[in-house]
Amino acid sequence: MRVISAIPQAAEAWPPLAALLAGGLPQSMLCVGPWGSGVVELTDLFLDAMLCLAPRSDQTACGQCRSCILQRQGVHPDLLRLQAEEEGKLISIDQVRAAADFLSYTPQIAARRVLRVEPAEALAPAAANAFLKTLEEPPPRAHIVLLSAAPSRLLPTIRSRLQRLPMRLAGRAETQQWLREKGVPESAAARLARWAGDRPLWAWQAWQDGVLREREQWIPQLLALPHEGIGAALALAESWSKAATLPVLREIALSILEDLLRLRLGLVETLVNDDYITKLQSLAGSASPGALWSCEALWRKLPVTLKQNRNQLILLEDMIFAWYAIWAGRAEEHGRSA
Amino acid sequence: MRLKAAQWSAHLRGTLARAYGLFADDPLLTQEAEDALLAAARQQGYAQRERLNGGSAAPWERMKDERDAGSLFAERRVLLLRLDSPKPPREGTAALDYWLASPPEDAILVISGARPDANTQKSAWFKALESKGHTLILYAPEGKDWPRWVEARLAQAGLRADAEAVQVLSSLSEGNLLACSQSIARLQQLAGNGQVDAAAVRAVLADSSQFSIYDLADAALRGEPRHALRVLDRLRQGDGEPTLCLWALHRDCRLLLQLQDPQIQAGSLFSKARIFPPRQDWLRNAARRLSTAGLLTALRDCAAIDARIKGQDPTPVWPALADLVLRIAGPGPSGHNKAH
């Protein structure tokens, strides 16, 4: 049974959702939040409550009625989970048509039929267009919930047909407290909360995977790179292409890049990697902002790029030299004026 | 005992051994060595020949049977066996051991196949063949030896060719021995008086040169843009894989950048990357010739080309590869801004 306490921000985030459940529930809804923020889990609690036959006074699911039992066993006849058939593939138009068909029948047990789409950005363009009519005017007693980590990638026509649910994200202090309660040592909890304060579940997973150890190894490598020769950069690319887990490396690189941007704007308090502050400050001054942004864009696009089965060594070299270029331009200018 | 290519014809005039191994990467070379051996064998009374491959039974089985069959009519014969892979299966080496332990008096065994690598040459079966019989490993002429080889073949065919004709013929059939020898045969038919000039060669020949991705990378490294583009063009028309072309060029870009880094020792880099003498010099020269900034751009091009190959970018791949080749092969900027 899903419990509300598994999500750190739930106590604060639930009341607005409960109000929706008590009063008029929208038919087409959008839930937005980064992966690992608890938004998916919160949405699932919300769906349980929508299907429950005898919700509790706080509008959460009772967990004992027939509907809740069926839901727990994953065989609820009034809930359809629409997702890509394979990891990394798109949701096809046929799947969307079948889902629209599902919604057109009257509910069997619960008070409503529910369609859950995750992630909404996996809808293929044709599938998204085929979905418009259903979203615009769902059949009576049918509700559609779309989950998205990147709503900007949805079609504007889809976005405009959805009501965005109030999804409160966890704050830094909340996440730190929650991690402490789960048994993470004080200093590590503080570090993780600084790093991913709005993504407590990601932080917890990262702690279990030993990501902080990798961080201590990789950040010095990244920060030393601008002062080293090209040979060292090439060697680093090679060792990373063999050993590093790229999504974690991406998180680390992005946090550093964003810190450099923060420092350039004078936002010292919100710095993520404040344990490397002196080094970061010395680098931020000589960084070229344009190159900083284009490097950030490369790292941000990495998950999409990786799906294309790219040559990892060539890819990492490209990223590392984009990193290199943040300071190379300045170094050249400096050399010329000297 | 191992024979050299130059000793072969002299060896064939003497008494033949009981077993031979003929190895070359080019089918023409093994074919011709085999033909010469068969002709010599016939003169010495081995009139019958038999191919062990391609029958209903496995060749190794047939080889064993032949060894056991006491020849009733004492007919002298040559047995030809072609190796499909450089590593014969266990029953194959067993059959070979069995044969070599006491070869029949009235048969010559001829094994032919692709050129064995260093490891294969150390294997037991190969050593046994070498000690009990003779092996001949032939190398295809490369580089400067190639026009000489073409010239010799023309002379052998009774054709008198001028220097330009030799040059055209060798460049149009580079790396493709079989095509070259067929072209010469065709020229022999067409040139009545035995005189061949460049125009005659061009009239008869299509471009049948064959190159590998290594030829592409080498030509670019040596700074021969024209030749490198031709190699790339041939690869594109043939079965060249863009991924492999990119792999070869990208590897060189990395090596060149590493060579330009003063903190990296060239010697240890070469031994770690297993780069051997002629390439070492080409790499050194190219590292001097090209600027670091240019090579970094080349590295970025590699990433862009990889994106094209993997379908992320719909623009065609080959022109981008040509740009990359030219970046490596072309003359760099005058070189004074090499230091980074």
Best mutation target among A305, A314, A319, A330 (most B Cβ atoms within 10 Å) is A314
Burial class from Cβ neighbours inside 10 Å (0-12, 13-18, 19+) for residue B133 reads buried
Task: Return the H-helix or E-strand segment holding A316.
Answer: helix A312-337
Q: Which residues of chain B have a CB within 8 Å of the CB of A294? A: none
Which of B306, B183, B175, B185 shows the shortest CA–CA distance to B234?
Answer: B175
* Same domain membership, residue B252 and residue B173: no
Identity (one letter) of the amino acid at A189?
Answer: A
Whole-angstrom distance, CA of residue A211 vs CA of residue B254: 30
pLDDT for A124-167, tens place per residue? 899 999 999 999 999 999 999 999 988 888 999 999 999 998 88
A311–B306 C-beta distance less than 8 A: yes
For B249, which residue in chain A has the nearest alpha carbon? A314
Tell me the residue ranges of DSSP E strands in B93-199: 107-113, 134-138, 160-161, 195-196
* pLDDT at residue A3, as a whole number: 67
* Same domain membership, residue B151 and residue B117: no
The ipTM value here is 0.71
Cross-chain CB nearest to B306 (options A230, A314, A328)? A314
Cross-chain CB nearest to B340 (options A230, A309, A314)? A230
Tell whether A44 is within 8 A of chain B (Cβ): no
Neighbours of A18 (CB within 10 A): 17
pLDDT (tens digit, 0 to 9) for every residue of chain B, 340 residues total? Answer: 888 888 888 888 888 888 898 998 888 888 888 888 888 888 888 888 888 877 666 777 777 777 777 656 667 888 888 888 778 888 888 888 888 888 887 888 898 888 888 888 888 888 888 888 888 988 888 878 888 888 888 888 888 888 888 888 888 788 888 888 888 888 888 777 778 877 778 777 767 777 888 889 999 999 888 889 989 998 998 878 899 999 999 999 999 999 988 888 888 888 888 888 888 889 999 999 898 888 989 999 999 999 999 888 888 999 999 999 999 998 644 444 443 3
Identity (one letter) of the amino acid at A324?
Answer: Y
What DSSP state is assigned to residue A217? H
- Parallel, antiparallel, or unpaired for β B2-3 and A163-164? unpaired
Q: Which residues of chain B have a CB within 8 Å of the CB of A321? A: 296, 299-300
Cross-chain CB nearest to B303 (options A234, A309, A315)? A315
Q: Which residues of chain A have a CB within 8 Å of the CB of B306? A: 310-311, 314-315
pLDDT for B280-326, tens place per residue? 889 999 999 898 888 989 999 999 999 999 888 888 999 999 999 99
* Same domain membership, residue B124 and residue B38: yes
Q: Give, to the nearest 10 degrees, the angle between helix A10-22 and helix A39-51.
A: 30
- Parallel, antiparallel, or unpaired for β B19-24 and B134-138? parallel
The residue with greater pLDDT, A106 or B86, is A106
Cross-chain CB nearest to A318 (options B246, B262, B300)? B300
Structurally, how many domains does chain B consist of?
Answer: 3
Tell whether A310 is within 8 A of chain B (Cβ): yes
Our CA dihedral for A20, A23, A28, A34, rounded to 10 degrees, sits at: 0
CATH number of the domain encompassing residue B152: 1.10.8.60
Token representation of residue B21: 């191994």
* pLDDT at residue B336, as a whole number: 40
Q: How far is A318 from chain B (nearest CA, A)?
A: 6
A109 Cβ neighbours under 8 A, 6+ residues apart: A53, A66, A67, A70, A76, A77, A78
Q: Which residues of chain A have a CB within 8 Å of the CB of B250? A: 314
String of DSSP letters for A104-137 = TSPPSSSSSEEEEESSGGGB-HHHHHHHHHHHHS
Compute the average pLDDT of residues A253-263. 91
Whole-angstrom distance, CA of residue A94 vs CA of residue A101: 11
Cross-chain CB nearest to A321 (options B258, B300, B306)? B300
A308–B299 C-beta distance less than 8 A: no
String of DSSP letters for B53-98 = TTSSS-HHHHHHHHHHS--TT---EEEEEE-SSSS--HHHHHHHHH
CATH number of the domain encompassing residue B76: 3.40.50.300
* Same domain membership, residue B158 and residue B97: no
Best mutation target among B241, B258, B260, B324 (most A Cβ atoms within 10 Å) is B258
CATH number of the domain encompassing residue B325: 1.20.272.10
* Same domain membership, residue B153 and residue B127: no
Token representation of residue B188: 């022999």
Cross-chain CB nearest to B302 (options A231, A232, A314)? A314
For B308, which residue in chain A has the nearest alpha carbon? A310
pLDDT for A210-239, tens place per residue? 888 888 888 888 888 888 888 888 888 888
- Mean pLDDT value across chain B: 84
B292–A317 C-beta distance less than 8 A: no
Identity (one letter) of the amino acid at A221?
Answer: Q
* pLDDT at residue A333, as a whole number: 43
Measured in whole angstroms, the distance separating CA B51 from the mean position of its chain's CA atoms is 25
Token representation of residue A310: 């790219």
- Domain coordinates in residue numbering, chain A: 4-164, 209-337
Cross-chain CB nearest to B258 (options A231, A314, A318)? A231
Task: Return the H-helix or E-strand segment holding A29.
Answer: strand A28-32
Q: How far apart are the first and last CA of chain A?
A: 68
CATH architecture of the domain formed by A4-164 = 3-Layer(aba) Sandwich (3.40)
Q: How many CB pairs under 8 A join A and B?
A: 55
Cross-chain CB nearest to A321 (options B260, B296, B312)? B296
Q: Is the pLDDT of residue A310 over 90?
A: no
B254–A230 C-beta distance less than 8 A: no
Q: Is the pLDDT of residue A80 over 90?
A: yes
* Same domain membership, residue B57 and residue B118: yes
* Same domain membership, residue B229 and residue B152: no
Inside any domain, residue B334: no
* Same domain membership, residue B158 and residue B116: no
* pLDDT at residue A257, as a whole number: 92
Q: Is the pLDDT of residue A64 over 50?
A: yes
In A, residues 205-244, which contact B (CB 8 Å cutoff)? 229-232, 234
For B254, which residue in chain A has the nearest alpha carbon? A234
The count of residues in chain B is 340
Q: How far is A290 from chain B (nearest CA, A)?
A: 17
* Same domain membership, residue B164 and residue B88: no
Q: Tell me the C-alpha to C-alpha distance, in Å, between residue A331 and each of A280, A338, B164.
A: 17, 10, 53
For B305, which residue in chain A has the nearest alpha carbon? A314
Q: Give, to the nearest 10 degrees, the angle between helix A230-243 and helix B242-260.
A: 140
For B265, which residue in chain A has the nearest alpha carbon? A231
Q: Which residues of chain B have a CB within 8 Å of the CB of A315? A: 303, 306
Highest-confidence segment of A94-98, A247-251, B118-122: A94-98
* pLDDT at residue A105, as a whole number: 92
Whole-angstrom distance, CA of residue B146 vs CA of residue A156: 65
Whole-angstrom distance, CA of residue A53 vs CA of residue A45: 14
For A331, which residue in chain B has the nearest alpha carbon? B340
Last residue of one domain, picked from the residues B91, B116, B138: B138
Tell whether A330 is within 8 A of chain B (Cβ): no
Cross-chain CB nearest to A234 (options B246, B247, B257)? B257
Q: How far is B324 from chain A (nearest CA, A)?
A: 14
* Domain span including residue B303: 213-329
Inside any domain, residue B149: yes
B340–A328 C-beta distance less than 8 A: yes
Inside any domain, residue B152: yes
* Same domain membership, residue B248 and residue B226: yes
Q: How far is A305 from chain B (nearest CA, A)?
A: 8
